Amino acid sequence: MLRLARSTVALSLAALLTVGLGSGASAADYDMDCKLILCLPAGFPEGCGDALDHMVDRLRDGKPPIGFCAMSDGSEFNDYDLDYRWLRAESSAAWACPDGKRLRHSVSYDGESDGRREVTAFCYDTSATRRFGDGHRSSYTGVTEPVRSDFEARMQISPDTSAAWDSGILRAYTGRVGDWRTTIRTRP
């Protein structure tokens, strides 16, 4: 009888481990999802790089950006809305300038069948355009390199309540968006 009980317990434990770990999730993943909920609204400050990597990995694997985060009673925390999108270099939203500077962003296509693009993005203080004949030339002062982002998110905690909180639009550079066939210039 004891022998049957041990084998039954062993089989039950093996089945539980297979079902519980078969999804590839671990306790560390759950903890990381809670950290992600804390870090994302703050714009992934120092110490949150692993949470950003975790979210990007989940998205790349076709999963929702945030997994299960257990509250103290064991239930899932899901009182949030999260909107996000990837930003390619062709989008002006992928580039930011310091306060007081303007963004010059343009995209040109080579017209060839391979679909190559050239993106020019830079920050400047002032510009002047000189016309001559049928052409013109622009010059820029105070040119600096813009900050590149490839991921944008906005999180709302407890939406549609009096306690609602909105992170505003947060941008980060993950280095995970491939700008294939794109030449990027950050100077005029």
> What is the residue-level pLDDT of the chain in tens, covering all 188 positions?
323 333 332 333 233 222 333 344 444 555 899 999 988 888 888 999 999 899 988 888 888 889 999 988 999 999 999 999 999 999 999 999 999 999 999 999 876 656 788 999 999 999 999 988 888 889 999 999 999 999 899 999 999 999 999 999 988 888 877 777 788 888 87
| Per-residue pLDDT at 182 | 83
What is the C-alpha separation between 169 and 120, in angstroms, rounded?
24
Record the pTM.
0.69
| Per-residue pLDDT at 59 | 85
Q: Among 33, 43, 38, which Cα is nearest to 64's? A: 33
Q: Among 79, 40, 43, 80, which Cα is nearest to 58's? A: 40
Helices (H) and strands (E) in the chain, counts: 3, 11
Q: What is the C-alpha end-to-end distance of the chain, expressed in Å?
A: 83
One-letter-per-residue 3-state SS of 33-89: HHHHHHHHHHCCCCCCHHHHHHHHHHHHCCCCCCCCCECCCCCECCCEEEEEEECCC
The set of residues, in sequence order, having a beta carbon less than 8 Å from that of 12 and lying 6+ positions away, is none
Sequence spans of domains, the chain: 24-78, 85-153+167-188
- Copy the structure tokens of residue 84: 């996000």
Q: Among 153, 138, 182, 148, which Cα is nearest to 56's? A: 153
Say how far residue 11 (Cα) sits from the centre of its chain.
Answer: 42
| Per-residue pLDDT at 31 | 85
| Per-residue pLDDT at 40 | 87
HSE-CB for 166 with a 13 A CA cutoff: 7
| Per-residue pLDDT at 15 | 30
